[in-house]
Structures are given as structure tokens and as C-alpha cells.
Structure 1
Amino acid sequence: MAAEILAFSPPRQSPPASDHLIATLQQRIFHNLMRASSDSDWRKNFAADPKMIAAGLNRIARIKGLVGCTPAPSCIVEGWKITPEERSSIGERLRVLAAGRPGRNSYQTDQWYRDADALNYILSVYGEGTPPHYPQIDSMSLKPASRDFGNLVAGLQAQELQAPSPDPVSILSAASRYAAILLDANERVDAAQFPDLWKTWNARALDYARHLSWHHYPYTAIIVPGEGPEAAQTWRDRRTLD
């Protein structure tokens, strides 16, 4: 008899206040990036490099150059992304900072590369409608060409243009903020609403799994209930598992 472990996804809760939700999403998804960018000492050292100052100025010029671009709003979202040059130059700056902080917590270059790629992926999928890895369940829920979405992007762009001249760290914080806002707009906020599931809803199931004698169950199935497409090709005859 197969042992079954049920890992539950709890009922969706009412979303918290928008600003708090955006900040929470940033912290949950880009924890190391947000921790570093909120450290005044780290910010000062990061921004002291002339290359980072130049990168910040180039970003400002790029954002200003998006006014009236076409096709909007996708051309604006494209301009929010981390460019290959920014990804590389920031990675090098982080490598220098990490070398000067041996034995201390620092934002590592490899982590930055992962975060930069994740930021651009979120902006592509939920800001431009690019198909995600699992289109049937993770695609953009808003219509990228709709008037409402265009107004949302235009409003965010106007806010950035009206903001005081940012420091180079804004390259990091602005992109993560836009990514979190687009996740919220597309109702992809579970990372904020259901944190630490292994400590709460799934704690009993995980504890049970740790004490199982798994060699007694050579054909065990771990069942994870959820919502998704009914794809016939994903079903397998039980006989193929024996």
C-alpha cells in the first residue's frame, strides 16, 4: 500500500495593503538583493564606484528616452529590464565588494546574476505577455495590449520620471519594485500571502515524511493537490509505475 503525503495549499486570503504587499513580495522573492540595498554601508560602497554612477545615469537617460516609444506599453517594460551591460558591470562591482568583506554577509555575484535573470523573466512574462515555462497556468492574466494595463505601465513610468535623481542602487530597487507590482497586478502574490508553508500548513506532512521507513514503500506517490490544466498527456497508467 503506497504511502501518501498531502502538501496543502491553503485558501487564498484577502490581500494586504498594496504598498505592504509590494514590499513583502520584494523581500520574499529577492531577499538578498533587498537586504543588501537597505544596508546604508553597503549602498555607500556600491555607489562609490564611477562605473556604477555611470550606470545609474545611463539608466535615467534610458527611462527618459522611453517617452512616446512604440509599441507601448511593451517598449516601456523592456526599458525597465536589467541590460546585459548592467548585469555584467554590477556583477563585477559585487565581486569587488565581496572580496573586501571576507567572512561577512554580502550580496554575491552569482546571486545577483540569478536575481537579474529572474527580474527580467518576471517583466517579460507579466509585463510583455511572453509565454512562461508553463503557459497554461502561469501566463499573464491581464491583456498586455489593453487600455487598463497600458495606463498602469504609463503611470509607473510617470512616477519614475518625477522621482528625484536616484543613486546607482536604484538600478536594483526599481526593477524589483516593477516586477513585484506586475506580479500583484496579475494576481501572482502567493509568495507574500503564504510564507513558510513548511513551518505551518505543511509542517505535519513533512514531519511525518521524516519518520517514514521509505524502503517499505518502493512505489510511493507524493501527491500535491493544486489547480492547473487537465492535460491528458500527463496522466500515466498505474501499471507503468509498478
Structure 2
Amino acid sequence: MSNMYKTYFSLMLFCFLNLLQAQTKKDYDAQFKASQSNDIVQDKNFYLFTAIQNDPKVTEFLENNTVLKSIFNLKDEEIEASFNGCEQSAPCMVKAYSFSEENIIKIGLELEKSLQTSPELKRLVTENLRPSGKYENFKSLPNDKYLSACWTLCASGINRILKVYGLGEAPQYATMDSVSYDVSSDYYRGSLWMWSDMLQHKKPEKNKLFFQPSLNFSLSLLYMNHRDEAARYEPLELKENQKVKAEISHINFEDYDYSTILILGNGPENYRDTLSALGKLNLQLGVLEFNQKKAPLIIVSGGHAHPFRTPFAEAIQMKKELMQRYHIPEEFIIIDPHARHTTTNLRNATRLMIAYNIPIDRPSLVVTNNMHSQYTSDDGFADRCQEELGYLPAVIKKRLNSTTLEFLPKIESLQQNPLEPLDP
């Protein structure tokens, strides 16, 4: 793990420990209208950049900042030099777009300094970034350190994309999330060169923000590799979750012991089956709890994870099975078609509950097969959440039986994680 990633996770741990002492309930505005670009993958990975781009005064201020303008110009020169000096060398070209640890620190310090004198930057933090919840795990930091932490996270996310999808370095879960091409091939090296040429010389730019060239190239790498998983099925509330979202306003959650029943996925390992044997078992176990009226809603969670670049989203298939085999109406089924791991099953379910005004101050149930349930309740799973997310997305409470656990969602689940760009 590089020094920058160690620094990031140390910062996340520091924030978490502070949060344990802080007020547990936050005045989160669920009606906050988040900034949006025309790229959902960008918005879900790099909300900071979208918020900046959407604010003309902040954009103008940052473009005219002497230090940041100098960094932009040097980056532009480095990219231009890569066309002649790299001879279609992927490492050389990717390096031109990467942020050095020195520059990440330098930009962070400049943002901290600028916020002290810029009402535009202060307003961005207090009226946009904080209410959005996208950087919830930094909420205990003062505004200048908060902005710097948001930047450091986003810069680290860009560097991760460049390394994995530009250079072919192994991601954390290589069997699921790796680059789609042979990065050593002439075809891929040529593709990188031509995409860089298009972005640098043919695509009109609306601004000269210090992060723009690197952001554009990293998003292009995800697009080139067909890695748009984060954007698929969005906006969920207008598509697969439209009917259930409309139903939620008519539910009296006080009539139930639990807010929701989260059924975990267990993806198949071949390209024929849409659900695995254990995936089907998990569904039946969840239906048993639902039929006892433990909760008014089911959440099914699982994305395009297993096998590598599978065309099926497990949550979509789980919903179909619930409707066709168990005759559960669509208006009682919420899907999360993005989660790729158990950590993000719980995190994404919490995000959907918050977005749809489902109570998170009372417990929900998580249902899965015996072995998976035991793992989810172990301390090792909590440690994994801390390591991969930087916080606990939920607190595991009482075990009701060998396949059913109580969990209490945590607001920190709103925190973006661009270090895992397929499901940030």
C-alpha cells in the first residue's frame, strides 16, 4: 500500500474515532438537491469535482488561483510531452495524468489556505458538500481540513483508476474488477494514446480546473474498459425501484419490528446461471422472515460481480425470482444492483434506506446462508469494513437464528469511496 493510501486510511480511522465521541444523529437533509453532471460515474465517484464544476464562482476562483493555475499548466505540458516522448508507452502516458503525492499535498494545503479567504469555497463546503453526505466520514473536521480530505480522497481515486485500468495493476478484488484488456498489447497502448490525443486536442474544454485533464482521462479509462457498473440502472428511483419508492410513503413502520429485510447475494461462478444454489437459498430464507411480517420491505443486493464482467446483475435476478416464484409484489422489493462485496451490501442498503426515507434509527434484518451469516457477525468482518471503507456501514446487533442477524444502519454509509470505482 502506498504512503498516500496509508495516509488516507489513517485519516479515515482518525475521523471514525472522533465520530464515536460525537453526536450519533446528524441533521442530514434528505431533500438536499445534489449537484449533477452528465456523467453518473463521475458523480458517484467524484462528487467534489461535480460540485465545483457546477458552481461558476468556485470554478472561476480556482482557475485564477496562482498555485492551482501553475499546477494545471505543468500538467498540461507533461501531457503534451507524453505524445512525443512516450512512443505509445502506457506507463509514461499514465504517469503524465497521475497526481504525485507531493502535488496532492500541495493542492490540499492551497485549498485549506484559500478557504480561509474565499466565501465561494466556504459556501461550497457548508451549503453543498456537507449537506450532500458524500463525505460524511469527514464531518468532524473543520471546513478547511474537510475540503482537503475530500480532495485527497478524490485524487487517490483517480490515481487508483489510472493504475488499474491504465497500467493493469491488480485491484483489491482482481478476479472481479481487473482491466478488460491486455495492457501490454499494441492495441491497448495505441488506444490509450488515441484517447489521450482526443481528450487533449479535439474535445473542447469548458474550464481549466487543476483536476480536469486527469479526471477526463480516468473516466475514459473506465468507459474504455466497459466499467460503467456504478451508473447502470440509475436513477433507480425512476426505474427498478419506482414502484416500491411510491409505496413507502404509505407504510407505517411502527407496525413492524424491523424496517427492512436485507437478503445478501451469492453470485454464480459461470456465465449460464443467473442465480447460484446458495443465492436461491438466501432468497428462501429471506422470504420466510418476510412472510412472518417481520418487516414491510425486502432489499436484495448484488451487482455485476461474479463471474468476471457477468452480464447479469444479481439483484435484478433476485427480484425476478421473488416475484415469479414467491409471488411477492414488486412494490415491496428494493434492489441494489451495484454491491460487489458484503461490506457494500450493508452500505448500499443503508444508502437506499436514507434516500427513500426508511427509518434507520431502528434495526433491520440481514438474511443469508449459515456460513455467510456467521462471517458477517464476526469481528473479522467489522475489521474488513474498517480497512476497506474506513468506517462501519452498520452495527451488527443480535443474532435471531443461524441465518438472520439484526443490524443498525449508520449514516456514515453515505461516504463515497472512489478507491473502488465500480461501486463507490
Extract unaligned runs of 5+ from structure 2: 1-36, 130-146, 262-284, 287-298, 309-341, 343-368, 375-400, 403-424
Q: Quickly say closer, same or farther: Cα 1:61–1:187, change in 2 above 3 A.
A: same
Q: TM-score w.r.t. structure 2 length?
A: 0.43
Identify the residue that residue 9 of structure 1 maps to in structure 2. Answer: none
Q: Per the alignment, in what secondary structure is the counterpart of residue 132 of structure 1?
A: coil
Cα offset for 1:95?
1.6
Task: Say if 1:52 and 1:90, in contact at 8 Å, map to a contact too.
Answer: yes
Q: Per the alignment, in what secondary structure is the counterpart of residue 130 of structure 1?
A: coil
Cα offset for 1:24?
3.9
* Aligned counterpart in structure 2 of residue 156 of structure 1, from 166, 170, 195: 195
Cα offset for 1:92?
1.9
Identify the residue that residue 228 of structure 1 maps to in structure 2. Answer: 306
- CA distance in structure 2 between the aligned counterparts of 1:118 and 1:210, rounded to whole angstroms: 40
1:87 maps to a residue whose letter is I
1:39 maps onto 2:55 in alignment: yes
* Aligned counterpart in structure 2 of residue 25 of structure 1, from 34, 41, 46: 41
- CA distance in structure 2 between the aligned counterparts of 1:82 and 1:185, rounded to whole angstroms: 21
1:122 maps onto 2:161 in alignment: yes
Matched residues, number: 217
Q: Identical aligned pairs, as a percentage?
A: 19
Moved more, 180-189 or 82-91: 82-91
Identify the residue that residue 79 of structure 2 maps to in structure 1. Answer: 63
* Aligned counterpart in structure 1 of residue 109 of structure 2, from 73, 92, 95: 92
1:79 maps onto 2:59 in alignment: no
Q: Quickly say closer, same or farther: Cα 1:113–1:169, change in 2 above 3 A.
A: farther
Task: Say if 1:45 and 1:97, in contact at 8 Å, map to a contact too.
Answer: no
Cα offset for 1:79?
1.7
- CA distance in structure 2 between the aligned counterparts of 1:68 and 1:22, rounded to whole angstroms: 34
2:177 maps to a residue whose letter is D
More strand by share: 2
- CA distance in structure 2 between the aligned counterparts of 1:144 and 1:158, rounded to whole angstroms: 18
Cα offset for 1:131?
0.5
Q: Quickly say closer, same or farther: Cα 1:158–1:103, change in 2 above 3 A.
A: closer
Structure 2 counterparts to residues 132-143 of structure 1, below 5 A? 132-143=171-182
- CA distance in structure 1 between the aligned counterparts of 2:235 and 2:57, rounded to whole angstroms: 29
1:228 maps to a residue whose letter is H
- CA distance in structure 1 between the aligned counterparts of 2:373 and 2:219, rounded to whole angstroms: 44
- Quick one: higher RCO (CA 8 Å, sep 6+), 1 or 2? 1
Task: Say if 1:46 and 1:52, in contact at 8 Å, map to a contact too.
Answer: yes
Aligned CA RMSD, in angstroms, stands at 3.9
Extract unaligned runs of 5+ from structure 1: 1-20
2:79 maps to a residue whose letter is I
Task: Say if 2:89 and 2:189, in contact at 8 Å, map to a contact too.
Answer: yes
- CA distance in structure 2 between the aligned counterparts of 1:39 and 1:239, rounded to whole angstroms: 45
Q: Per the alignment, in what secondary structure is the counterpart of residue 110 of structure 1?
A: helix
Q: Quickly say closer, same or farther: Cα 1:198–1:135, change in 2 above 3 A.
A: farther
Task: Say if 1:87 and 1:116, in contact at 8 Å, map to a contact too.
Answer: yes
Q: Quickly say closer, same or farther: Cα 1:55–1:132, change in 2 above 3 A.
A: same
Q: Quickly say closer, same or farther: Cα 1:202–1:22, change in 2 above 3 A.
A: closer
Identify the residue that residue 213 of structure 1 maps to in structure 2. Answer: 257
Cα offset for 1:171?
3.0
Identify the residue that residue 124 of structure 2 maps to in structure 1. Answer: 105
Q: Per the alignment, in what secondary structure is the counterpart of residue 117 of structure 1?
A: helix
Task: Say if 1:22 and 1:184, in contact at 8 Å, map to a contact too.
Answer: no
Identify the residue that residue 147 of structure 1 maps to in structure 2. Answer: 186
1:124 maps to a residue whose letter is K
Task: Say if 1:24 and 1:192, in contact at 8 Å, map to a contact too.
Answer: yes
- CA distance in structure 2 between the aligned counterparts of 1:198 and 1:163, rounded to whole angstroms: 36
Q: Quickly say closer, same or farther: Cα 1:55–1:239, change in 2 above 3 A.
A: closer
- CA distance in structure 1 between the aligned counterparts of 2:167 and 2:99, rounded to whole angstroms: 15
Task: Say if 1:119 and 1:176, in contact at 8 Å, map to a contact too.
Answer: yes
Identify the residue that residue 4 of structure 1 maps to in structure 2. Answer: none
Task: Say if 2:88 and 2:190, in contact at 8 Å, map to a contact too.
Answer: no
Moved more, 176-185 or 30-39: 30-39
Q: Deviations over 1:74-118 (max 9, x none)?
A: 221122111222212221222233333286224722111111011
2:168 maps to a residue whose letter is G
Identify the residue that residue 182 of structure 1 maps to in structure 2. Answer: 221
